[in-house]
Structure 1
Amino acid sequence: MPLGDSALLVRFGTSLDDEANQATLTLAARLDAEPIFGVLEVVPSLVSVLLRYDPLQISPGHLAGEIALRLGQGNEAREPHVHDIAVVFDGVDLAEVAAALGLSENDFIAQHNAAPLRVLTTGFAPGFVYCGLHSEALVLPRRTQVRPSVPVGSVLFAAGQTAITATEVPTGWNVIGSTSFRNFVPQNDPPTRLQAGDLVRFVVAR
C-alpha cells in the first residue's frame, strides 16, 4: 500500500502473530541481500516492512513488481545468532504479574525462561528490542498507567512479549527485572548487538 508519493508499506497482518513476523523478517532479509535500485531505506517492524524510495529513480508499479519477485522466492532464512541474557528478576511488577497469571514468582520465571524467544523487531528508542512470542498462558496486557521513565537495562513484559530497554524510556509495560546486557553502544559499529531474527535465551543471573 502507498504511503504518500515516496514510500510503500508491505503489511503481512493487522495484528502480531508468528507467521506475519516471520514473513516480515524474511522480506527484510531479502531486500538487504538483493537491494532494489531507487530504494533509499528499508524499515521492518513487527508485521510490516516500509520502503522509502526516490520516485525519480523508480515508479511505484516497478517497485511493487520488484517486491513481488522477492516475495515469490523460497522461505530460506539465515541461521539466527543466539544470545544468552542474564536477568535479575526483581522488577517492581514481578509479583503482580505472577499473581495475575495464577503462578508463583518462581514458576513464572521458569516458564518465562523455558524457551528461546525471537527478536521480533527493534525500535521505539535506540536499542529497544521486542522478543517473543510467549505462549497464550503468559499473555498479559500493558499497564493502564505509563511510568515516566524506567532505567537502562529494564526487562519488560506485556502482550506476549519481553522487551529490553537500552536507554531511559517511558513505558506502560510491566517491569519484571533488569539486566547488565546493553544493546546500544553508540561508539560501536553497528551500535546495536541484537538483530531482528536473532534468538534470545533469558537466564537467571547468578
Structure 2
Amino acid sequence: MVDTPLVLPLGEDAMLVRFGATLSQDANLAALRFTRRLDARPITGVVEVVPNLVSVLLRYDRHQIGFQRLAGEVGLLLTARMDETDLAGREHRVQVSFGGETGPDLDEVAERLSLSVEAFVAAHNASRLRVLATGFAPGFVYCGFHPEALHVPRRREVRPHIPAGSVLFAAGQTAIAATDIPTGWHVIGRTQLRNFDPLREPPTLIEAGDGIVFEAER
C-alpha cells in the first residue's frame, strides 16, 4: 500500500513528490508510474523530471508556472483515471565476472548467507530484476528486489575507490557502477557494460523500469 503522496517545495524552483518514507516495491512503482504519466502528459513550465527510488523531483521555470499551480496540476495527474502505461521497459542481459580480484567481497557475502559461492551466484542470477532508479553518480543503476533470503546489509567501511563496471550487492539490491566511485556496498564482480558515456546520445543505455538479467561470464 502506497502512502498518500507528499508534495513538497524544494528551493525556489523545484518540487518533490514523495511516495513513501522508505523503499518498498509499491512506493518505487508509484514513483515510476507517475514519471511515465508526466512523460505522457507534460506540464507546461516543468523543465526537468528526475525520478528516484521513492520520489520524483520536478524542476520548473518560475516565469511559466508557480508552485501552487504546479501542485494543482500534479494533484490532477495523480488522481486522473488513465490507461496504465506499461511499466515494463527494455530487457538487458548483463554478463558479470564474479569473484576474484574483480569481486573481492563475493566469498564473504556467500558465507554470511550460508551459501557456497556457486549457490549464491545461481540464486543472485535466478530472477529478472527491475531497474528501480538511476542516479547517485552518472549512469549508476539500482536493481531489485532480491528475495529476503539474499539480503545482507552494506559494509561497515567505505571503499574509497572502485572502478567503473563494478557490480555491487546490498540490502536486497544489485547495483552497477558506471564510473569510478567510493562505495559501502559489497563488490561481487565486474561487467564490461558501461552505462554512461558523455559522448553518446543519450549518454545512458539503461532507464528506470527496464529489466535486468545477470549472467555469469563464461
TM over 0.5: yes
Q: Equivalent residues in 2 for 1:178-197 (5 A)? A: 178-197=190-209
TM-score by length of 1: 0.96
Asked whether the equivalents of residues 32 and 87 of structure 2 are also in contact (C-alpha less than 8 Å), the reply is no
> In 2, distance between residues paired with 1:148 and 1:154?
13
Correspondence for 1:198:
210
2:65 is aligned with what amino acid? I
Deviations 1:119-138 (A, max 9, x none): 11111111111101111111
The alpha-carbon deviation at position 78 of structure 1 amounts to 4.3
Asked whether the equivalents of residues 165 and 191 of structure 2 are also in contact (C-alpha less than 8 Å), the reply is yes
Correspondence for 1:70:
77
What secondary structure, in the 3-state scheme, does the structure 1 residue paired with 2:93 have? strand
The runs of 5 or more residues in structure 1 that have no matched partner are: none
Correspondence for 1:46:
53
Q: Equivalent residues in 2 for 1:37-116 (5 A)? A: 37-72=44-79, 73-74=81-82, 75-90=84-99, 91-116=103-128
The runs of 5 or more residues in structure 2 that have no matched partner are: 1-7
The alpha-carbon deviation at position 42 of structure 1 amounts to 1.0
Correspondence for 1:154:
166
Residue identity over aligned pairs, in percent, reads 58
Structure 1 runs (4+) deviating above 6 angstroms are: none
TM-score by length of 2: 0.91
1:76 is aligned with what amino acid? T
> In 2, distance between residues paired with 1:24 and 1:79?
14
RMSD: 1.2
Corresponding residue to 1:19 among 26, 32, 38: 26
Correspondence for 1:2:
9
What secondary structure, in the 3-state scheme, does the structure 2 residue paired with 1:88 have? strand
The alpha-carbon deviation at position 4 of structure 1 amounts to 2.5
The alpha-carbon deviation at position 79 of structure 1 amounts to 3.8
The alpha-carbon deviation at position 191 of structure 1 amounts to 0.8
1:89 is aligned with what amino acid? F
2:162 is aligned with what amino acid? V
The alpha-carbon deviation at position 66 of structure 1 amounts to 1.2
1:81 is aligned with what amino acid? R
Asked whether the equivalents of residues 88 and 211 of structure 2 are also in contact (C-alpha less than 8 Å), the reply is no
2:62 is aligned with what amino acid? P
> In 1, distance between residues paired with 2:156 and 2:34?
34
Correspondence for 2:41:
34
